[in-house]
Chains A and B, each alone.
Chain A
Amino acid sequence: MAQLSYREAVTEALAQEMRRDENVVFIGEDVAAAGGVFKTTVGLLEEFGPDRVRDTPISEQAILGATMGAAMTGLKPVAEIMFSDFFAVCWDIVANQIAKTRYMTDGQAELPLVIRSGNGGGVRFGAQHSQSVENWAMAVPGLKVVAPAMPADVKGLLAASIRDPDPVLFFEQKALYAAKGEVPDGEHVEPLGTASVLRSGSDVTIVALALMVPRALKAAEELEAQHGISATVVDVRSLVPLDTQTILSEVAKTGRLVTVEENPRLCGWGAEISSIVAEELFWDLDGPIVRVTTPHIPLAAADSLEDAMLPSADKIVASVRELVD
């Protein structure tokens, strides 16, 4: 096991898969010579050369359109959309073209591609560079949606996404790029569609994603130490496919569910999970399902304002206490 940053885990996964399969190619803005604006792809150009690691113009439709066309004709392309907010300028390619083409062609077209993107807040970039848009992607049939929290999962799930025969939107949380963690040495691949149980408790199950995972873990420690509340923490990791079995069984054990979502409230992913739990586990619940989310507002840039809006460990503690006490 090596200590790697979340950012380094991205590079490792790409390099691992590019060494393994020469049909894996990687494109995006400032990704080759510059190594990416978040420095997630440093060294790839040097190792794999300009045919496999290629800079593009600032043309998100061209980037994703080309990615789709390449995937339909034998390559396994990985594209970077620098900030996930920019999906708004190329959403046609994602939602109308990439997501639907296999289905519309009666299974003829293959679309083995990955779109990586810096997602989420916590870095004071303001409303157009801080959104959590994983729930946009989740609303479109035909897209797989992955959003890791831990460096080991970044490596394992990105590798799995590249090997997966379906299109995957891979959301990297920008505020986590510097976070470090243990990452297995050598080849590491984690199956998509599996949630991970990071902590087991008896009073409440907290289900979180990406940046909300470390905050949920911190909240769980505080709940235990200061309030005698024992919490399970589940990292969803993959929204599509969704590991409902793990979520349902972990909620059944505690009888209480709190979701912690960075996306704005309306139609956030926690609403879908809440609905599944309400429908399928209603009689096992000991209280209402609680959603902790960013309010339904654009995110402000100022650190004090951004901090006041994103779910924090303190907010999670307060919500859980209200539910359990």
Chain B
Amino acid sequence: MAAKPKRAAAAKRKPQPQIDAATRLKLYRTMVECRQLEQRAHDLFMQNLIKGTSHLALGQEAVAAGFGVAMREDDYTFCTYRGHNHTYVRGVSMTAILGELMGNSAGLMRGKGGSMHLTSVEHGAMGSYAIIGAHLPIAAGAAWSAQYRGTEQVAVCFFGDGTTNIGAFHEAINFAVVWKLPVVFVCENNLYMEYTSIYDVTAVRNPAADRASAYGLEPILIDGNDVDVVYETAEAALERARSGGGPSLIEAVTYRHGGHSRADPGKYRPDDEVKEWLGRDPVPMYRERLLGLDIDAADLDRIDAETLAMIDEATETARNAPLPDVDIAWIDVWADGGAQWRN
């Protein structure tokens, strides 16, 4: 059993005055929307309206929100099966996400992808990937394309701590550095893979940050539950990538409130650890901070209420949508829209 790691050093950083109030409200709203969206997804599972599996990021919202707000509309994101929030923050509707989770015709891909593969090309949400590590080189490829086309777009790639031990992580980062690609690799270190602590299986203490120097990158270790810190770090990394400075590797330390997936009650985690992290829940933590900055509680309450109304409406629309037409199982294997492999 590895020694329990110390919390990331940056955790106690003070909020920076240069984030304006409008941006702060946007960060708050985005986190609240993510939180409520996934709580609703959880409820729908419990009612058996969502089948299969699902991986919630309850507790990790600050990472998706901080990046989502900092990104340019035409930037690309690549995320994992734990990617409802990362997809949502690019502008995809709640109805399309819930519909996809429920496997019906309101879904983003009409049920052909499912919870683990949310994609919306028109929003730059270039896919949710369920094979560990695969999307790191794919994100590097989107960054290469942006570099070649001279568009100053950036590809942002989110993945977990466990992903730092697979070959594709190392291949992609070396490749991106050598080609100086505009890509930001964001490791959300939530301390666990599925059911095993990352610290029991990793040669270094900080799974991403401690690898950075091997690729000539600055180690960046941040408090992933502090949305201001995430936002500022995202802005800096996006700017560096956009201006030709090449990739960054960021490790954002965070925690998932629930288990790995629907099937997992998360009992392998010590009670005091869970309690400690619930005490550092990014959403109420940020609310407290905003109140301390003289933002009106009524404004925050209104955001909470508007979000709830929005999600109620999305839930109704999504759950009342018809099942997908079975004919769609036969389309889009190929670019001509069909599935023919012979004449």
Contacts and interface: CB of A to CB of B under 8 A. Distances in A.
Given A102-B335, A103-B112, A108-B119, A62 B140 contact: yes
A244 B341 CA distance: 10
B131 A92 contact: yes
Nearest to B334: A166
B178 interface: yes
B331 A107 contact: yes
B131 A61 contact: no
B194 interface: no
Contacts of A56: 175
Nearest to B149: A74
A97 B109 contact: no
Nearest to A144: B334
Contact of A57 (B121, B144, B148, B174): B174
A65 B137 contact: yes
Given A104-B119, A106-B112, A65 B337 contact: no
B182 to A, nearest CB: 12
Contacts of B138: 65-66, 68-69, 72, 93, 97
Given A62-B174, A75-B148, A105-B121, A69 B134 contact: no
Contacts of B178: 57
B267 interface: no
A104 to B, nearest CB: 4
B76 interface: yes
Interface in A77-108: 77, 92-93, 96-97, 101-108
Contact of B119 (A92, A105, A241): A105
Nearest to A107: B332
Given A61-B171, A101-B127, A73 B343 contact: no
A4 B143 CA distance: 37
B47 interface: no
Contact of A70 (B131, B134, B141): B141
A92 B134 contact: yes
A293 interface: no
Given A62-B174, A67-B141, A102 B342 contact: no
Contacts of B122: 108
A109 B119 contact: yes
Contacts of B331: 107
Contacts of A244: 342-343
A78 to B, nearest CB: 13
Contacts of B172: 59, 61-62, 65
A142 interface: yes
Contacts of A59: 137, 171-172, 174-175
B184 interface: no
A73 B340 CA distance: 25
A62 B157 CA distance: 14
B343 A241 contact: yes
Interface string A49-65: 00100101101111111
B38 to A, nearest CB: 21
Contacts of A276: 342
A106 B113 contact: yes
A65 B136 contact: yes
Interface in A173-225: 193
Interface string A24-64: 01000000000000000000000000010010110111111
A51 B146 CA distance: 12
Nearest to B181: A66
A165 interface: yes
Contacts of B145: 69-70, 72-75
Interface string B323-343: 000001001111111011111
B168 interface: yes
A142 B334 CA distance: 7
B141 A69 contact: yes
A93 B142 contact: no
Nearest to A104: B113
A108 B129 CA distance: 15
A243 interface: yes
A112 B332 CA distance: 14
B110 interface: yes
A194 to B, nearest CB: 9
Nearest to B174: A57
A109 B342 contact: no
B141 A68 contact: yes
Interface of B: 76, 78, 108-110, 112-113, 117, 119-122, 126-127, 129, 131, 133-146, 148-149, 155, 167-168, 171-172, 174-175, 178-179, 328, 331-337, 339-343
20 contacts: A65-B136, A66-B137, A68-B137, A69-B78, A69-B137, A72-B142, A74-B149, A92-B134, A97-B129, A97-B138, A101-B119, A102-B332, A102-B333, A102-B334, A105-B119, A109-B119, A141-B341, A164-B335, A241-B340, A241-B341
Given A62-B171, A69-B144, A241-B340, 7 more contacts: A62-B172, A69-B145, A72-B126, A73-B146, A103-B333, A105-B113, A164-B335
